[in-house]
Structure 1
Amino acid sequence: MSERRQHSRHQTGLTVEVFDRHTGRSLGRLADLSSEGFMLCGVDVPAVDSVWDCQLVPLPPLDEVGEIHLGADCLWSRGGTDGQLGWAGFHIIDLAEDQAQALEQLLGYLEESRAGH
């Protein structure tokens, strides 16, 4: 498979839960993140071509980064089998300016935590 990403992705050194803002349903946990998209893993991952109003919640909470709200389109999805977690990849399609700043702060935090390992 050819690499199509234009921005580097950062492995998450902390837990970031992803929720549907409308229902509160957990979509999964971030596996990696970039300014353009993210990959998550979870028990019941969203279907391909579904659009979500997401809430990213760092756990434990970070003083410098609050919850991040964004719209995302599920580009691919692979459900888990036999009790395994599923995986899904998303493209960020809607991000307010203040939320973009929060996302950049989170990316900076992830970069720092990765460099410290």
Structure 2
Amino acid sequence: MTDERRQQQRLQIPVTLEVFDVRSGQRLGRVVDLSVGGFMLFSEQPQAETSYQCRIAPTPPSVGLDQLILGAECLWSRAGADGQHHWSGFHFESLNEGQHLHLQALLECFSHTP
């Protein structure tokens, strides 16, 4: 039996999406997979299990892909096998209608990418 806690399927991202903490401007890491409920982050440092105001932006900037600013809570953070990188799971907090629609459009775009 698997211990699967996700309620939505996460998609692998075919572009580089970088995540920044809006409050500090610090780069948190890179999105590995994404769903309407949250994302997995790959980073050089562990993330605190707290809420962040995140700016998720394609790097380099991409035509048709706008940045997304939303609240996300880090639910867990673990060291990678190499001991130098970290994996963290984030859950989106209180998306307004515009944020939700933007996220759905982004996911729809990625679901049709070969």
TM-score w.r.t. length of structure 1: 0.87
The runs of 4+ residues in structure 1 deviating greater than 3 Å are 79-83
CA RMSD in angstroms comes to 1.6
CA contact (8 A) 1:45 1:88 kept: yes
Counterpart in the other structure of 1:96: 96
Spell out the pairing of 1:48-87 with structure 2 (5 A cutoff): 48=49, 50-80=50-80, 84-87=84-87
| TM-score between the two structures when normalised by the length of structure 2 | 0.89
Q: Do the aligned residues in 2 keep the contact of 1:43 with 1:80 (CA within 8 Å)?
A: no
Distance in 1 separating the partners of 2:4 and 2:40: 15
Q: Where does structure 2 lack aligned partners over 5 or more consecutive residues? A: none
**Rounded Cα–Cα distance in structure 1 between residues aligned with 2:96 and 2:43:** 26
What is the number of residues matched between the two proteins? Answer: 113
Percent identity, aligned pairs only, is 43
Which structure 1 segments of 5+ residues have no match?
Answer: none
2:70 maps to a residue whose letter is L
Q: Counterparts of 1:8-87 in structure 2 under 5 Å?
A: 8-48=9-49, 50-80=50-80, 84-87=84-87
